[in-house]
């Protein structure tokens, strides 16, 4: 084990809210090492993210939607990602996750089929947001609606059910970091391991194991 020098001397002297609309920006005065300087943070509610696997169709359920912050030259703003959303005030992370799944892709997850992974700060350099990560299995019987997101939140989500072999071969192609992290976790925890189905043809399984290109 490498012992690092104790650097825990930074102290927040004061904080001031400098912007408030959909998000809140707070500026803090920090004292550290005899110097005083300012830092800004984006105050965001915590969030959830879950990678879903349909055991009947042997496919990974993703969403495709427009994300304004990433749109730039040569990037149209559309991205494939795992189901995700913010945690409402007073809501438990697991309840937020199951709610978001119903809203976005129309599946109602059974609690026994949920694998809790870890909470993590994904952008600690500027945001307060912490994301709770999950894996989960569903079946065709769990489908309760078409999904598509909440109209009141101006969500226009396309549900993508990708055969897991294509998903597996394209894990390094996902631009969304949380989706890529859960992809590796899914293989580590053997989310895609299922017992063979007897006398029942498999659905949506690719004929080969070649590389595919994911296009937006």
Inter-residue contact 103 to 147 (CB < 8 Å): yes
Distance of CA 15 to the CA centre of its chain: 30
CA proximity to 163, closest of 66, 67, 60, 87: 60
Residue 74: strand, helix, or coil:
coil
Helices H / strands E in the chain, number of each: 3, 10
B/e letters for 121-150, b = 16+ CB within 10 Å, e = fewer, are: eeeeeeeebbbbbbbbbbeeebeeeebbbe
Inter-residue contact 140 to 54 (CB < 8 Å): yes
The answer to whether residue 16 is catalytic is no
Residue 97: strand, helix, or coil:
helix
Beta-sheet pairing, 114-121 with 35-43: unpaired
Selecting among 153, 155, 158, 185, the annotated active-site residue is 153
Residues known to be catalytic: 153
């Amino acid at each position: 084990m490498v012992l690092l020098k104790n650097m825990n001397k930074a102290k927040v002297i004061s904080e001031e809210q400098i912007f408030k609309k959909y998000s809140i920006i707070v500026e803090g005065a920090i004292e550290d090492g005899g110097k005083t300087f300012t830092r800004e943070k984006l105050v965001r509610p915590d969030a959830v993210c879950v990678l879903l696997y349909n055991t009947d169709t042997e496919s990974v359920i993703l969403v495709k939607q427009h994300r304004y912050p990433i749109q730039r030259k040569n990037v149209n703003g559309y991205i494939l990602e795992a189901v995700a959303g913010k945690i409402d005030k007073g809501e438990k992370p697991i309840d937020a996750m199951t709610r978001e799944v119903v809203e976005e892709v129309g599946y109602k997850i059974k609690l026994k089929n949920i694998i809790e992974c870890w909470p993590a700060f994904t952008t600690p350099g500027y945001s307060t947001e912490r994301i709770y990560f999950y894996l989960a299995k569903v079946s065709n019987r769990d489908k309760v609606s078409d999904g598509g997101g909440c109209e009141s939140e101006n969500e226009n989500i396309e549900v993508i059910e990708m055969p897991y072999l294509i998903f597996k071969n394209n894990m390094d192609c996902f631009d969304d970091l949380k989706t890529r992290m859960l992809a590796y976790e899914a293989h580590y925890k053997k989310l895609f391991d299922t017992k063979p189905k007897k006398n029942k043809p498999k659905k949506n399984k690719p004929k080969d194991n070649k590389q595919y290109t994911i296009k937006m």
